[in-house]
């Protein structure tokens, strides 16, 4: 058995009770199972503050990227044009998706430490009327920045375009009023802030836009519309990750007992603020400024001339019970620490003590 906690942005540390749910082999045709799927779909709508009259949830096999690829390729199709706003690797992945599917798209890049500017989006939409869809990431896990999807959503809706949001690492851990913010498709996955295990993603879809996806998909297995139609009674179109679904249902139950989205937001924010303030005391500065730093994951600079590598630091910390994450921003030397999952202030303090010990060995 491996005994360390994950300070990563997902998969993350889950409860023992969530893991125990996976000790059952469940039949996919069974009514009980179909009801679990339906229950999950309903609860996700509640977390999103939307009504089943206006929105639905489609579950999709595969990791988060499968969900993003499904939503983008099924809604933009062969006739639309997608504007991608990117300030990190996950925004850039949307370009990769569009390229592979042969979609008509345009990408607007922003520096990794800066949120996409709604004024720039408004200008592009005004000068390029071909654009039908706009996509962006909410919590850019690359850096930890929390993008302002509310302001961009206003601009997108004012121009009458479809708004697609990758809220993979924020949904459930940052409150998102999906309808109020003009979101038509929102994607997240089982192994992020709801604290399940990896195996499927989910797409919260505005029904009126989902209806328009009929016959548009460029892939069979990622056809969002067909997946939705097939799921009407809770049965999945193709084999579903049964163990993962059971674990996810349990994770939602535990999240509701804990106080739902508001309680989870509070917990992550407290963890994150504590982590940053304690790391700063040790001389580690953050890559993202305080105003835009999100509560999920933090990118830290190495102190100047520190003389150690990520691997040395990682191994030292792992031996003492925690796994951290390498940096992903391209222009600076950084590493990342996530604070979502079954992580508590005592874990942060323990990590800080490990850092103190590590730094002492380097003096």
Residue with token string 């590493």: 335
Torsion, CA 207, CA 210, CA 214, CA 219, rounded to 10: -150
CB nearer to ligand PLP: pick between 147 and 354: 147
CB nearer to ligand PLP: pick between 76 and 193: 193
Q: Give yes or no for residue 73 binding ligand PLP (CB under 6 A).
A: no
C-alpha–C-alpha distance, residues 219 and 256, integer Å: 35
Residue with token string 């953050």: 286
| Selection from 200, 267, 208 nearest residue 40 by Cα | 200
Q: Which of 65, 75, 135, 339 binds ligand PLP (CB under 6 A)?
A: 65
**The two structure tokens encoding residue 241:** 């990750």
The answer to whether the CB of 168 falls within 8 A of the CB of 314 is no
Min dist CB 127 to ligand PLP, Å, is: 28
Q: Give yes or no for residue 168 binding ligand PLP (CB under 6 A).
A: yes
C-alpha–C-alpha distance, residues 18 and 15, integer Å: 5
Q: Which of 6, 7, 8, 10 binds ligand PLP (CB under 6 A)?
A: 10
| Helices 260-281 & 242-258 angle (0-180, nearest 10) | 80
CB nearer to ligand PLP: pick between 162 and 174: 174
Backbone phi, then psi, for 238, in 5-degree steps? -120, 170
- Give the x/- contact pattern for ligand PLP in 186-225, rule: CB under 6 A: ---x------------------------------------
Min dist CB 17 to ligand PLP, Å, is: 23
Question: What is the footprint of ligand PLP within residues 264-283 (CB under 6 A)?
Answer: none
The answer to whether the CB of 82 falls within 8 A of the CB of 132 is yes
Backbone phi, then psi, for 3, in 5-degree steps? -120, 80
DSSP string, 27-88: -SSSHHHHHHHHHHHHHHHHHTT--TTTEEEEEEESSHHHHHHHHHHHHHTTT-EEEEEESS
Q: Give yes or no for residue 18 binding ligand PLP (CB under 6 A).
A: no
Q: Which of 9, 77, 153, 294 binds ligand PLP (CB under 6 A)?
A: 9
| Site stretch for ligand PLP (CB under 6 A), options 60-68, 148-156, 280-288, 299-307 | 60-68
Q: Which of 8, 169, 271, 334 binds ligand PLP (CB under 6 A)?
A: 169
Q: Give yes or no for residue 173 binding ligand PLP (CB under 6 A).
A: no
DSSP category for residue 350: H
| Site stretch for ligand PLP (CB under 6 A), options 58-66, 236-244, 307-315, 354-362 | 58-66
C-alpha–C-alpha distance, residues 223 and 255, integer Å: 30
| Site stretch for ligand PLP (CB under 6 A), options 164-172, 229-237, 266-274, 334-342 | 164-172
Residue whose beta carbon is closest to ligand PLP: 64
Q: Give yes or no for residue 334 binding ligand PLP (CB under 6 A).
A: no
Q: Give yes or no for residue 338 binding ligand PLP (CB under 6 A).
A: no
CB nearer to ligand PLP: pick between 18 and 168: 168
CB nearer to ligand PLP: pick between 10 and 234: 10
CB nearer to ligand PLP: pick between 56 and 65: 65
C-alpha–C-alpha distance, residues 58 and 227, integer Å: 7
Q: Which of 33, 55, 90, 322 binds ligand PLP (CB under 6 A)?
A: 90
Q: Give yes or no for residue 143 binding ligand PLP (CB under 6 A).
A: no
Which residues on adjacent β-strands are paired with residue 104?
Answer: 81
CB nearer to ligand PLP: pick between 189 and 227: 189
| Selection from 17, 339, 334, 357 nearest residue 169 by Cα | 339
Residue 62's CB: how many other CB atoms inside 10 A? 17
* Site for ligand PLP, rule CB under 6 A: 9-10, 63-65, 90, 137, 141, 166, 168-169, 189
């Amino acid at each position: 058995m491996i005994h360390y906690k994950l300070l990563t942005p997902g998969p993350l540390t889950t409860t023992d009770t969530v893991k125990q749910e996976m000790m059952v082999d469940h039949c996919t045709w069974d009514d009980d199972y179909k009801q679990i799927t339906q229950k999950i779909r309903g609860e996700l709508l509640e977390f999103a503050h939307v009504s089943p009259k206006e929105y639905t949830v489609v579950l999709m096999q595969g990791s988060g990227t499968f969900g993003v690829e499904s939503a983008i390729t099924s809604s933009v199709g062969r006739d639309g044009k997608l504007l991608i706003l990117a300030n990190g690797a996950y925004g850039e992945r949307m370009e990769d998706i569009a390229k592979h599917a042969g979609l008509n798209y345009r990408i607007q890049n922003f520096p990794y430490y800066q949120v996409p500017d709604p004024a720039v989006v408004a200008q592009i939409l005004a000068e390029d009327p071909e654009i039908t869809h706009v996509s962006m990431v909410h919590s850019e896990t690359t850096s930890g920045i929390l993008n302002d999807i509310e302001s961009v959503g206003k601009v997108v809706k004012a121009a009458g375009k479809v708004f697609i949001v990758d809220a993979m690492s924020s949904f459930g851990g940052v409150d998102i009023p999906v309808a109020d913010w003009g979101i038509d498709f929102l994607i997240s996955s089982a192994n992020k802030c709801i604290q399940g295990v990896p195996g499927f993603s989910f797409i919260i879809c505005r029904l009126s836009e989902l209806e328009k996806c009929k016959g548009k998909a460029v892939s069979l297995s990622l056809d969002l519309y067909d997946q939705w139609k097939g799921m009407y009674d809770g049965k999945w179109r193709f084999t579903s990750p049964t163990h993962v679904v059971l674990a996810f249902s349990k994770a939602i139950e535990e999240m509701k007992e804990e106080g739902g989205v508001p309680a989870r937001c509070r917990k992550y924010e407290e963890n994150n603020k504590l982590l940053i303030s304690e790391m700063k005391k040790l001389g580690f500065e953050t890559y993202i400024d305080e105003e835009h730093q999100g509560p999920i994951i933090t990118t830290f600079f190495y102190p100047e001339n520190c003389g150690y590598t990520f691997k040395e630091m990682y191994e030292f910390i792992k031996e003492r019970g925690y796994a951290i994450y390498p940096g992903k921003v391209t222009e600076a030397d950084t590493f990342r620490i996530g604070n979502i999952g079954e992580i508590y202030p005592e874990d942060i303090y323990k990590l800080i003590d490990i850092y103190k010990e590590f730094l002492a060995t380097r003096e």
